Structure 1
Amino acid sequence: MNGDRERVLARVRRALADVPRGERPEDVPVERAYARVHGERGEETVDLLARNLAEYRAVVHRVARDGLPELLAGLLAARGAASVLVPPALPASWLAAVDATRVHDREEATARESDAVDSVVTGCALAVAETGTIVLDGGPDQGRRRITLVPDHHVCVVRVPDQVVSSVSQALARLDPTRPLTWISGPSATSDIELDRVEGVHGPRRLDVVLVTGDRDG
């Protein structure tokens, strides 16, 4: 083991032999000429997002702002949700037609308490079309990471087109790296050694993504 270690370290020393002693990584510019987006899509970007979300087994819905409350009420009713977790600043109008009991997230709430809630409704930070990924950053309409991982059903609202980007590179340019980022591609799933897929192990078993147009200010 020590011999292998010394061989690796020797290769590192040889690779760094011509590097000035005081040079730091940030002193050397790195060319980043890779494509930040693959082609110009325009309005097709949202269609690509919808297709890739569905490919990951998320259930995608499209609605105008005025129809959002009724759609959310229908999604929760279809799941038999008697209770719904609510982030601190979720727009009140979103749940105006919902009959389920609102459970407001509290700092002192335990994972067991969250597990007793049927569904959670949140907004998002961004959605990436090329990968079918929803990004959460703990914003006021999303709440803590825990509330989107423990309940079995997550409904995530994406404002179109403001929150949709084509690529991961574009997403990274808009996101704050100091915030708690959660990248979600479909409902939680894993497979055992025989490739039997099991959903809901590390997060919600069902992910509904609502693409809403005309909802710029909640």
Structure 2
Amino acid sequence: MNSGGSRERVLGRVRRALADVPHDDPPYERAVARDYAREHGRRTVAETVELLAENLAEYRAIVHRCADGELPGLLARLLASHGSRSVVVPPGLPAEWLGAVDATRVHDVAASTPQELDRVDSVVTGCAVAVAETGTIVLDGSSGQGRRRITLVPDHHICVVRVPDQVVSAVSQALGRLDPTRPSTWISGPSATSDIELDRVEGVHGPRTLEVVLVGR
């Protein structure tokens, strides 16, 4: 297939469809009404966090809670209970988070191959934002989160969410916090798929185990 010719055919159809649009027609960002609900119902901060925890668990993520000062000890216990001898550390992850961890640190570098990452037991990251109504954590590759592949290849992912600063009610609110120029990964529970008989298999397209730590002040 001639890709150049296909492109011109598609653009030609677009031009014909737009031929009768007035030159003074309002631009898209003004033409589309933005008066829809930004969240479903009214909740307090505490209720929003509770909803996040409930929906994370509904998606089979394992939810933990702790105070800020308890985080290093909790991460050490979670990695030890999983039998993790190695852990991927993304750039910018606070050093104190893994201060009590005995596992070997594997730094997130561009040269790492999928095979090398597959041999790592766990990965610990922060997140960009968490959505209560959908039980979703969002990563955008910024400080403390690393490259997308480090959260897709290792079999065990621990994600730290700061409460309530990083928690929002709805997807529309999450989008308002994200930089549209950065790649984002939206995670609702551990990776899973089902065959035609609806037999669920976890760990096919990402971590088999997702643990989310809600850290309060």
* 1:123 aligns with one of 126, 138, 145: 126
When the two structures are superposed, what TM-score results if normalisation uses the length of structure 2?
0.88
Cα 1:18–1:133 change in 2 (3 A) is same
2:31 partner SS: coil
The residue that corresponds to 1:76 in the other structure is 79
The residue that corresponds to 2:65 in the other structure is 62
Name stretches of at least 5 consecutive residues in structure 1 with no aligned partner: 1-9
**What is the distance in 2 between the residues matched to 1:27 and 1:123?**
32
1:23-79 CA distance string (max 9 Å, x none):
575375211221001122112100000000000000000000111111101110111
Query: 1:33-182 maps to which residues of 2 (within 5 A)?
Result: 33-42=35-44, 43-182=46-185
Aligned residues: 204
Shift of residue 21, structure 1, vs aligned partner = 5.8
1:125-182 CA distance string (max 9 Å, x none):
0000000000000012000000000000000000000000000010011111110100
**What is the distance in 2 between the residues matched to 1:30 and 1:83?**
49
Cα 1:104–1:30 change in 2 (3 A) is same
AA matched with 2:89: V
When the two structures are superposed, what TM-score results if normalisation uses the length of structure 1?
0.88
Shift of residue 22, structure 1, vs aligned partner = 7.0
AA matched with 1:56: Y
The residue that corresponds to 1:7 in the other structure is none
Shift of residue 19, structure 1, vs aligned partner = 2.8
